[in-house]
Amino acid sequence: MFSPILTSLGSLAAFVQYSNAASAIPWAAPGEGPTTQTANYTGFSNSTLNDQNVVPGASFSRFIQIWFENTNFAVASSTPAFQKLAAQGVTFSRYMAVTHPSEPNYVASLSGSHWGMGDDNFYHIPRNISTVIDLLEEKGISWATYQENMPSTGYYGYNWASVNYNDPTQAPYDYYQRKHNPPIIHDSVVFYPERSHRIRSFNDFANDIVNGTLPQWMFITPNMVNDAHDTTIDFAGKFTDYWLNPLLEDERFNNEETLILVTFDENETYDIQNQIFSVAVGGSIPDELKGTSDNTFYTHYSTLSTVQANWDLRTLGRQDANKTVSNVFSWVANEVGYQNQDIADEDIPQFNLTKVHDGPLNSLRYTPFYAPDVSMQGASGCGVFVSPELDLTFTADEVPPAVNLTAQGSQSPWILPQNTTTLPVY
């Protein structure tokens, strides 16, 4: 299962070819460092979280995800900055994103489904659809998302342009995009002020870490240049040197009970399997696993099942409970006694497909939201969490055939205009 990391000549060639593609955007650090607020982000933080209680987990007591963008596995794994991370942790050699493009992958990581989504529209998912936030809060586990260049706590808009700190001679730059912020897309999170307050900016992060109140579960999104979306993997590597590497040495962020997943939303090449570079680092990684590769088959749904297994949480009853696509990180599975599935390469679903899945967020193959199978069990062996607002009688068996709303001159009712800035009315 685990093996030393080797860089192939093919991977090296892919890296050289990719790194020769010059970025028009020059690298510049947005501030002095990750623990210092900066005027290059809109608005200074004037409030902090007050998360002092720690709920211990079987393998870790803090889980942090940091997502980068649109990069093939061979390219990322051959980049020095990401090789440096790999030497400190476990590289997942068979980790897959679940579809294309970006937004459905982010959504899937929070609510256990991409709901048929095949684009980056301004979606909102109704209030009666549960997410991992419900599971965490049920056990008293604190959480937050930190979004670089988001202008204010719980900001609902489609994007945000701020001062171009990379090139001050240019116009303000759209550094923040809603599509990379999964909690803001789910009404069950953003509708409630006590939750939307936890959708925070990088200035808020600096305030929270200095205050010693970072939460136990974090989803962190760099801005559109630092995540490699509008730039290159080398550019993203400079961001890890500036932001992540110092934090790996800071016990307020990374201690012996911390697990950090550095991953990508999707690969760049749509006509191949959607394999992405993902590496687990942090103080909770066993020493004997550092610098190794794990060939277990994982997906973004594994982040849900791993958290559920670690903290004995309920499941959402969606793809997070589908044993084929939700293997638990192997050393965590061993610690809790969970049996992962041994999935051969030929049995891995085609995750490079898009716009072909029925669902409420697919205007080409629209079906309504429905209740999960409440008899399912997740990686913890616990049952399904469902919103009290959800109609449990409307199940998969009740869903009518998919409808092509686009052909009817319509679209999914869960798409909002791009100029929307306020919550939908319930």
* Contact predicate 377/321, CB 8 Å: yes
CA distance 71 to 230: 11
Tokens of 407: 């052909």
Do β-strands 143-147 and 217-221 pair in parallel, antiparallel, or remain unpaired?
Answer: parallel
CA distance 416 to 425: 12
Which of 266, 396, 389 has its CA nearest to residue 322? 396
CA distance 216 to 76: 27
Tokens of 166: 């990379």
* Contact predicate 274/348, CB 8 Å: no
* Contact predicate 160/150, CB 8 Å: yes
* Unique residue bearing structure tokens 């393998």: 59
CA distance 217 to 144: 7
Catalytic residue, candidates 230, 234, 294, 320: 230
CA distance 305 to 329: 9
Among left, alpha and beta (phi > 0; psi -120 to 50; other), residue 116 is left
* Contact predicate 156/184, CB 8 Å: yes
230 is catalytic: yes
Q: Is 62 helix (H, G, I), strand (E, B) or coil?
A: strand
* Contact predicate 127/391, CB 8 Å: no
Catalytic residue numbers?
230
